[in-house]
Amino acid sequence: MAFQHVLLIVELNLESLQRVLGPEGVLGQSNERRKVTHIKKLCQAGFAPGRITVRKMAFHFAEKLNIKHTFLKETGKAGIQWLRSFIERNPDLSIRQSEGLSLARALGMNRLEVANFFKLLKHVLLENNLIDRPSNIFDMDEAGIQPINKPSKVVAPKGANDVQILTSRERGENVTVIGCCNAGGVFLQPVLILKGVNRKPEFSNGLPAGSSIYMTKKIFLYHIRTLKWLREHCIPRKPPGKTLLIIEHSLHCSDLEMLEIAN
């Protein structure tokens, strides 16, 4: 009897520890967890709901389950204060800045497309005896950056209309960086593509040894600059034998001149 009495006390204490301090919320703890699970599934599918959408979902959820609530029926959504409390009660959720994803990338990320890609990759690796040669498998990508310092948050008087801080310029010129590494973790020196004609010595300040700088009148000439990178930067540094180069842009895969250089 004493053992059963102690076991009952332990179970009661565990139940009390699982309770959340403060008000339970309009929807109730169990219903809120269902809502959290639904939000997570939407995020995994690439349809993360916005703040207004979450508030509308809460209103329709309460209406469907006939839960007594104080949400405004005129707007058809929960209040902003409810959303803040909902986030506080469920710390596994947070308000984040979303990132754009193109429709083409979203359509490509499905089980069939991914399986076909790795099937083709395995075939190419086996056909060219590269399955156990990671130093001969390279991945190349380009990224555009703007070299200007981002203004930080500052302390200013309340009601101030103009709160400014000095930057190098209001809008920077786009600088393209070409990066490439192999499956063994070895990186090629980066290549910077700058808009202009005259190359100045200070452009190379702080760059790793062996890096290159290309000057071009038009920064968006993908074809010309990639050919130059392949001839002058990649081929002289590649290991002997066949090499697989994976380029992130499909435009280069159908270019005749690039295919001739690769052969």
Domain boundaries, the chain: 8-89, 131-147+170-263
Q: Give the span between the Cα atoms of 163 and 130, in whole angstroms.
A: 57
pTM: 0.54
Confidence of residue 170 (pLDDT cuts 50, 70, 90): low
pLDDT tens across 96-116, in order? 776 666 666 666 677 887 888
pLDDT of 148 reads 66
Task: Report the SS3 class of residue 179.
Answer: strand
Report whether 131 contacts 149 (CB < 8 A). Answer: no
pLDDT of 12 reads 45
The pLDDT of 202-223, averaged and rounded, is: 75
Task: Report the SS3 class of residue 2.
Answer: helix
pLDDT of 36 reads 87
